[in-house]
């Protein structure tokens, strides 16, 4: 599970002297003589000993979140951050208002049909959270008419509309609100939903009778993401995490009984394995998945049989990384398997797709017969599949971007199988993702977006291949012709070509004077795919070149791109990012003294490592919920997620080489006496993925060691989780804070002359 929101080469690194004053319109620069004094945490040295190596940690005591001294210190960090950045408040207000003015606040999603209902989500101006609704669907026998979404006007009442869950009502009086899952029973009478009011991603399960609006007495505490009803609506399946926040149990709750009596259907004891489940497209089978980033295991549970036990399909002993979609063909149960190797395939690193009759799983793995549906390709990564009654949908990554391919089930896995069809779009850099494939539906729902195109919803008609645009998200005061997004390539120190995305206002030219923000992630095979972002427009409108560094460790160029940036190759992520920064300087996209960097979670690790490698390249760094004390965390399997992470970083407890390698790049342990740029660490008190203590320790040590005088601040959301504060307006404020910190440092406060003012927005 990735730590999640929106590189040591020898090449020359052109950069200005980091001690040079910031541009004259920097609020921090003008306020520097009166800068407040940062909080100083006391030092309480603790020794950590592994493999004969001793590391002394002065700030480990900050881990105790129940200690009043710790809480007081964190609050003083917030006070300091606010005092240092108080001059940025007008800019924060401006960015917030620009986001607000551009957003269609009163809106609704395109209704999606499931069984006999159309489900959709409303948002209302002034409300933080969406309202989940539905209306009854028609059954006329005309497939085209019955599966055409009803026309519902934003903000207007619709006959027969029923509110399932109002997030604003649920959040009232709570410091935090997040939904961990929703499920409706097959008969449409009951709603199961899970709520988190702390930000720690431990949810409370409730059941609502949709016929009366009343809550049933059933309450189940500490559930994880994902819920499913049994076909008869009498049971709810859910996942439970252990003390280290690892999903390890699948349980079932029988309605009307005490949660203490809930039965454990499956339990995984290996601390390095993650457990979850999916429901089969025909909603009769629970597919339990257990795995890590390198291999997995699948089991099946017949949801129609109350006495059924999970049946093993493909064991972890086969060491196959895979996923499964159950289907019935000619009356026989089959599984569509996406996998990286099979009984007759040694290496399919980018995955292939096979069709396997259920009976084959009764045989030893090496004796099974799998029929190839999609062959392995070195230049195309298969991400996964979905199934309707008539078609197979395959998600693939080709030329760095995600797209969808469709082929009929008729003839699947035989010589009569037809070639897949791929919907085509005009842009070169885009994302086309499957948003819904209801089993009985004659259409599938696709979402299309790019760096320049707001999210657009299409229905793809399976019988004809027609694409029907249902909605493009409205963005006010936006002219896509005024912006450019293009692909470029940098060269790493080892000669590897690194894809880059460069996004800019059309008036910005590569003349070597521009401010630039370089963003990266680079872990867990997660790709920074093309997507539209309203907040990013406020950065582009101020003349900033927005650069996305698609570094190794991500998945943009397939599985090998990921493997070349993990474990003992992890430093490639960091050196790649530095190479990208140097490249944008060389190409003239950025002035050497006007570059900022930003990344979150594992991307925060990237920020911490990069600022140690090349602090002179960056005017400012924003590290969001940053994983900057990586080695300390991974050495403690009792901490949330740590044991699960061994497949990403290696196991430094057992492997001396891994320990030494991680210690050589872990940001906290490699802070050096150099002039660091201004840094903002943004975190949350209740984050369970990257604990607040990591940035808290990091900023203290940075202040201790830096030889420069740039401010280093930590902003902590005391009621938030890994995604920050809850609610869309609070989210916009968070984004405005981060961007204002960057823009102020880059001297890019003013909107460029070619950008028209926004009606209703206060802009500078």
pLDDT tens-digit map of 529-569: 999 999 999 999 999 999 999 999 999 999 999 999 999 99
Question: What's the rounded Cα separation, in Å, for the pair 754 and 107?
Answer: 30
Mean pLDDT check: name the lowest of 68-72, 242-246, 757-761.
757-761
Mean pLDDT check: name the lowest of 5-19, 61-75, 586-600.
5-19
If you count them, how many residues does the chain have?
Answer: 764
Q: What is the pTM of this model?
A: 0.91
Q: How high is the pLDDT of residue 644?
A: 83
Local confidence band at 720 (pLDDT 50, 70, 90 cut-offs): low
Judged against a pLDDT cut of 80, whether residue 45 lies above it is answered with yes
Question: What's the rounded Cα separation, in Å, for the pair 663 and 347?
Answer: 32
Mean pLDDT check: name the lowest of 97-106, 124-133, 393-402, 754-763.
754-763
Cα–Cα distances in Å, from 363 out to 338, 537, 610?
Answer: 19, 56, 50
Number of alpha helices (DSSP H) and beta strands (DSSP E) in the chain: 14, 37
Cα–Cα distances in Å, from 431 out to 173, 572, 636?
Answer: 38, 26, 38
Question: What's the rounded Cα separation, in Å, for the pair 117 and 136?
Answer: 4
CA 32 to chain centroid, in Å, comes to: 36
Question: What's the rounded Cα separation, in Å, for the pair 502 and 585?
Answer: 12
Among the listed residues 322, 339, 572, 722, the single catalytic one is 722
Residue 386: partners with Cβ closer than 8 Å, 6 or more residues away: 281, 325, 392, 393, 395, 434, 437, 444
More confident residue, 175 or 434: 434
Strand order in the sheet with 678-684: 483-491, 497-505, 545-549, 516-520, 595-600, 620-624, 678-684, 712-717
Judged against a pLDDT cut of 80, whether residue 272 lies above it is answered with yes
Judged against a pLDDT cut of 70, whether residue 71 lies above it is answered with yes
Please check whether residue 708 is in contact with residue 672, taking contact to mean a CB–CB distance below 8 angstroms.
Answer: no
Q: What is the mean pLDDT of residues 644-654?
A: 93
Q: How high is the pLDDT of residue 78?
A: 97
Q: What is the mean pLDDT of residues 587-597?
A: 98
> Phi-psi region for residue 174, left (φ > 0), alpha (ψ -120 to 50) or beta?
beta
SS3 342: strand
Q: What is the mean pLDDT of residues 20-27?
A: 30
DSSP state of 111: P
Q: How high is the pLDDT of residue 16?
A: 28
Strands 391-398 and 380-387: antiparallel
Judged against a pLDDT cut of 60, whether residue 27 lies above it is answered with no
Q: What is the mean pLDDT of residues 190-209?
A: 93
Question: What's the rounded Cα separation, in Å, for the pair 203 and 205?
Answer: 6
Element (H, E) at 131: strand 131-136
Judged against a pLDDT cut of 50, whether residue 21 lies above it is answered with no
Question: What's the rounded Cα separation, in Å, for the pair 240 and 204?
Answer: 11
CA atoms within 13 A on the CB side of 107: 14
Phi/psi of residue 659, nearest 5 degrees: -55, -50
CA atoms within 13 A on the CB side of 637: 12
Residue 175 CB coordination number (10 Å): 14
Q: What is the mean pLDDT of residues 636-651?
A: 86
Is 601 an annotated catalytic residue?
yes
Q: What is the mean pLDDT of residues 614-629?
A: 97
Phi/psi of residue 343, nearest 5 degrees: -55, -30
Q: How high is the pLDDT of residue 349?
A: 97
Q: What is the mean pLDDT of residues 411-426?
A: 94
Strands 401-408 and 431-436: unpaired
CA 751 to chain centroid, in Å, comes to: 30
Angle between helices 571-586 and 602-613 (to 10 degrees): 60
Q: What is the pLDDT of residues 324-359, one digit of tens each?
A: 999 999 999 999 999 999 999 999 999 999 999 999
Please check whether residue 348 is in contact with residue 339, taking contact to mean a CB–CB distance below 8 angstroms.
Answer: yes
Local confidence band at 256 (pLDDT 50, 70, 90 cut-offs): very high
What residue ranges define each of the domains in the chain, with the CATH number in brackets?
Answer: 27-100+478-746 (3.40.50.1820), 324-474 (2.130.10.120)
Among the listed residues 601, 633, 666, 726, the single catalytic one is 601
Q: How high is the pLDDT of residue 722?
A: 62
Q: What is the pLDDT of residues 84-126, one digit of tens each?
A: 999 999 999 999 999 999 999 999 999 999 999 999 999 999 9
- Residue-averaged pLDDT of the chain: 92
Question: What's the rounded Cα separation, in Å, for the pair 93 and 87?
Answer: 11
Q: How high is the pLDDT of residue 8?
A: 25
Q: How high is the pLDDT of residue 757?
A: 76
Q: What is the mean pLDDT of residues 207-232?
A: 96
SS3 292: coil
Q: How high is the pLDDT of residue 686?
A: 84
Q: How high is the pLDDT of residue 724?
A: 58
Judged against a pLDDT cut of 50, whether residue 32 lies above it is answered with no
CA atoms within 13 A on the CB side of 555: 19
Among the listed residues 196, 541, 576, 687, the single catalytic one is 687
Local confidence band at 4 (pLDDT 50, 70, 90 cut-offs): very low
Judged against a pLDDT cut of 50, whether residue 528 lies above it is answered with yes
Q: How high is the pLDDT of residue 643?
A: 81
Question: What's the rounded Cα separation, in Å, for the pair 224 and 244?
Answer: 13
Is 687 an annotated catalytic residue?
yes
Is 722 an annotated catalytic residue?
yes
SS3 20: coil
Mean pLDDT check: name the lowest of 161-170, 328-337, 718-727, 735-744.
718-727
Q: How high is the pLDDT of residue 719?
A: 76
Percentage, residues of the chain above pLDDT 90: 86
């Amino acid at each position: 599970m990735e730590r999640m929101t929106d590189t040591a080469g020898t090449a020359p690194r052109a950069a200005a002297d980091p001690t040079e004053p910031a541009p004259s319109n920097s609020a921090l620069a003008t306020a520097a003589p009166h800068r407040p004094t940062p909080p100083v945490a006391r030092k309480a040295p603790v020794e950590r000993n592994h493999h004969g190596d001793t590391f002394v940690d002065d700030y480990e005591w900050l881990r105790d979140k129940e200690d009043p001294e710790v809480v007081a210190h964190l609050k003083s960090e917030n006070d300091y951050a606010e005092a240092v950045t108080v001059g940025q408040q007008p800019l924060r207000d401006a960015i917030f208002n620009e986001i607000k003015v551009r957003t269609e606040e009163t809106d609704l999603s395109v209704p999606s049909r499931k069984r006999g209902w159309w489900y959709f989500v409303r948002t209302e101006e002034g409300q933080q959270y969406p309202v989940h609704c539905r209306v009854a669907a028609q059954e006329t026998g005309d497939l085209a008419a019955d599966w055409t979404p009803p026309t519902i006007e934003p903000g207007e009442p619709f006959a027969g509309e029923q509110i399932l869950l109002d997030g604003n009502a649920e959040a009232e009086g709570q410091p935090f609100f997040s939904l961990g899952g929703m499920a409706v029973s097959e008969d449409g009478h009951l709603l199961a939903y899970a709520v988190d009011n702390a930000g720690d991603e431990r949810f409370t399960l409730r059941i609502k009778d949709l016929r009366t609006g009343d809550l049933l007495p059933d309450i189940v505490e500490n559930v994880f993401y994902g819920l499913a009803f049994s076909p008869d609506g009498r049971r709810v399946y859910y996942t439970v995490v252990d003390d280290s926040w690892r999903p390890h149990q699948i349980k079932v709750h029988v309605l009307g009984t005490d949660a203490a009596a809930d039965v454990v259907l499956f339990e995984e004891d290996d601390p390095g394995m993650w457990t979850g489940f999916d429901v089969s497209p025909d909603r009769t089978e629970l597919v339990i998945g257990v795995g890590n980033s390198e291999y997995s295991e699948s089991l099946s549970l017949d949801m129609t049989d109350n006495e059924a036990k999970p049946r093993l399909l493909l064991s972890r002993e086969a060491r196959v990384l895979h996923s499964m979609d159950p289907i019935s063909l000619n009356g026989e149960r089959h599984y569509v398997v996406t996998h990286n190797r099979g009984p007759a395939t040694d290496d399919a690193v980018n995955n292939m797709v096979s069709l396997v009759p259920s009976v084959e799983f009764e045989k030893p793995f090496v004796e099974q017969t799998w029929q190839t549906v999609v062959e392995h390709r070195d230049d195309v990564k298969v991400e996964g599949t979905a199934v309707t009654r008539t078609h197979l949908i395959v998600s693939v990554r080709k030329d760095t971007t995600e797209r969808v391919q469709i082929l009929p089930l008729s003839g699947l896995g035989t010589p009569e199988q037809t070639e897949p069809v791929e919907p085509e779009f005009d842009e070169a850099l885009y994302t086309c993702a499957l948003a819904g494939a209801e089993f009985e539906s004659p259409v599938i729902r696709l979402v299309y977006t790019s760096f320049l195109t707001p999210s657009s919803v299409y229905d793809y008609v399976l019988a004809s291949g027609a694409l029907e645009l249902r909605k493009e998200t409205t963005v006010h005061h936006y002219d896509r012709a005024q912006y450019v997004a293009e692909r470029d390539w940098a060269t790493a120190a080892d000669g590897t070509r690194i894809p880059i995305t460069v996004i800019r206002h059309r008036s910005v030219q590569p003349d070597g004077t521009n401010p630039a923000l370089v963003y990266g992630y680079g872990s867990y095979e997660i790709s920074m795919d093309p997507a539209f972002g309203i907040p990013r427009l406020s950065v582009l409108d101020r003349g900033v070149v927005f650069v996305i560094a698609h570094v190794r460790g991500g998945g943009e160029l397939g599985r090998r791109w990921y493997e070349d940036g993990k474990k003992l190759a992890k430093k490639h992520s960091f050196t790649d990012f530095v190479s990208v920064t140097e490249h944008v300087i060389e190409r003239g996209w950025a002035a050497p003294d006007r570059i900022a960097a930003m990344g979150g979670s594992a991307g925060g690790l990237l920020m911490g490592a990069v600022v140690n490698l090349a602090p002179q390249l960056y005017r400012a760094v924003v590290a969001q919920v940053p994983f900057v004390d990586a080695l300390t965390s991974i050495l403690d399997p009792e901490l949330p997620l740590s044991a699960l992470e061994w497949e990403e970083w290696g196991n430094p407890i057992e492997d001396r080489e891994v320990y030494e390698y991680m210690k050589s790049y872990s940001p906290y342990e490699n802070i050096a006496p150099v002039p660091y740029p201004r840094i903002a660490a943004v975190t949350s008190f209740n984050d369970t993925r990257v604990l607040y203590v990591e940035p808290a320790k990091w900023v203290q040590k940075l202040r201790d060691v830096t030889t420069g005088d740039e401010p280093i601040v930590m902003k902590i959301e005391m009621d938030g989780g890994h995604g920050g504060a809850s609610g869309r307006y609070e989210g916009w404020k968070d984004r405005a804070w981060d961007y204002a910190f960057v823009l102020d440092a880059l001297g890019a406060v003013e909107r460029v002359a070619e950008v028209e003012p926004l009606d209703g927005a206060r802009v500078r």
